[in-house]
Chains A and B, each alone.
Chain A
């Protein structure tokens, strides 16, 4: 009896989540398979023909292959900023966890502030212009690093605090200098958090729309999220292309999700359980 009820509940849950969460994605996929005419109906119908490759090709080559540029730009920004985040945040987390000084409370305060305070947009543009970094990939990379440091630091600090200090000291006795201790002992031991960090930050930075919108204007600098926007205005009636585009930029997060589901969830829930 009880089992029947739970099975019934399960089926109800599956149906409900299917309607709420899966159908929108199926809608995206179906739209990406349709031709322009059918897609204009914007309904949940079966594609009358297989137009996916045509649509993909069309989307990719539009505006002088802007999609390719955008994917390259987004990849560069994501890889570079995540690499810097890993090293710089781990370095801060390491010293913060190991060296207790009267500055620590201030540093922790600044980190928390970074998690909460929204960036001041125009003054940031002003600073970037002063540094000749406005509208450059370099500038965008450094912005992503600055904005995402607090989260990465917190992730690392919590983990480093669980590594016994004996480990550093054994290395010091073995003749390791600070850089050796960090790069040869601590950083390798941080690998599980680093994977989490990489995955969570990559998804966030790849999906970032607002910051490139402000700090990386210009078609040559487009990132994938911005192409979506340009496409939307341009193809206000070409829904097949719009949704093909959405489908394309959903693939990287999907791959990450398939392979690193566990790490993502671990990273995003870190600290939720009284940490």
Chain B
């Protein structure tokens, strides 16, 4: 393992250490406080009547009987909420020509997916609200549903929104070099079509929200299971016309998010209006069945590819046609085209071929919206790229490691711009590949595989390289007009007892943000970690910032905390210097003591500096003005994104009789720059890998031809279980970014980015001697049997 570069023997040296998470103790005692747990005085509960049809006109709604039920306070239709809430549109300017229809909290006039909320009931209890749903009469007339990506694009297809012209949300062509010439000079070419299944986040805590509108102050407080409280402060304010300074969004403990909890949802927007109409707090928690039909889905792509190569195995050029279906709307505020955009821009990213052309079509259909979910686009791009590399290698009889060594962007090529325009500061593909080769003992595995094949046991080894986008600058969303911040803010203060509080805009969802921020502040200020309390997730309390998306907590949030702590340290030293009649430059702060910089002799405790500053400022020399609070905002500068990289390997055994795959091992070598807490990085990787394995083998939202989700329950939609998952071995390479003093990049999505690809390559390696291969995930037993000609 390539450990942190710090001198870990110095007092308060925490960066690079596997310290435990102070806030986990509360969760371990059953004392977490999730939105689902919160109860406010006089709180009411909302439930939603949902469309049974994928596409239908709403002829009439009769709510009389429901409204008359004892315990019901309000029944609201789409028209009722449309009077309060402005429509929103999920488009951004930098995706030229993209379109999407305006959305409202509840359906008005027609419904466009099965499960879309049509009517809201607010009652004393959730059970009563649900009783009342059964009393609402809705007359509907069905329209032909658009479900298929090709059918959706036909000239005579039903238009989901006739006013948009057609069912195509966005088209993009990415072109670099001369792909025609590359194919013309190639020794060989092959083509393959890949399918990735629509799947969804399945956070263990479903979406949850409580809105509490206070008419006398014209103020709104929202307890929201969200990754991005500031983004929702802006949205609630603008869409409901409430002053931004009076909108408070509190994100307490959150039971999983994975990118799913940062989008605008109809129910969430409704609950704000319902609270305004009732004048009381209103709570809504999605039940699991509702989650399946209303949480965003992701990754519904068909990718046609062609690759040209020469006899040495060098990839010369790649052509891609990606069609992705996103549901009936593009999701606000980030849009549903980002995923496809990232797929076509990340294909081939670790490799050095220059001739590339990709066409992307983003298509509407009558299903729930897709949008950003952990590793947005990466798993698809990686699956396509890595499968192509293996397929070419197989044709030419070149080993997968050798294929990659011959094609990767090497360390002498940085800074490097990919054919699709991504700028890489410095990646470590060779070191990662070499590390993986040793970590998995590749030659031994190959020998074992050979021996077992002779006994009719089909094992496969698959590897997959990845790059991952982290630390996004405004180039991601801001430039497109999105009111989504790329900067973060931190306030660090010394309490009168000489302890420390850090209020910061990046949030905690179990990944360990509070812990790493505490490590950074303690180290850069010079105090014991136990004295640092980190506070997150409250727009009235924590400074403005982007919060949690696209792997930015450690890289951007961490740098913000580091700079704030340094600033505060200077302030502390200048007060101490005034007290000690010394100069700030002659002093240092170590372990909560002001010491001489030269000989580290202790002069005065930090607690004493704080006591004097807060309670006895009269004893300070005239003109001393203690500033024991420091604020700092930091936005990425330099490269638009800090790319990380790594490589994964998967080892499987396929049962050719049943089509079942057993995952035997999984290895990851990753480089996320400076590692702040190795244990937390590794747990992010493991959790991410398992989500990618879920996509590879189990997870798929299966729809029928009328646009109905057929497996929308946790009994029918399979997520990985403990008995199906392997132990995951991890090693690190550290290439800190030079753009920040901290040098950290993100690590939350790297696991998911490549594990599906490694798994597919492993399965195909196992199937190869049987003359079969798959190009679709999830790789269910039925699909494997079909590939084997037995289905």
Verify that A and B bind, or say they do not: no
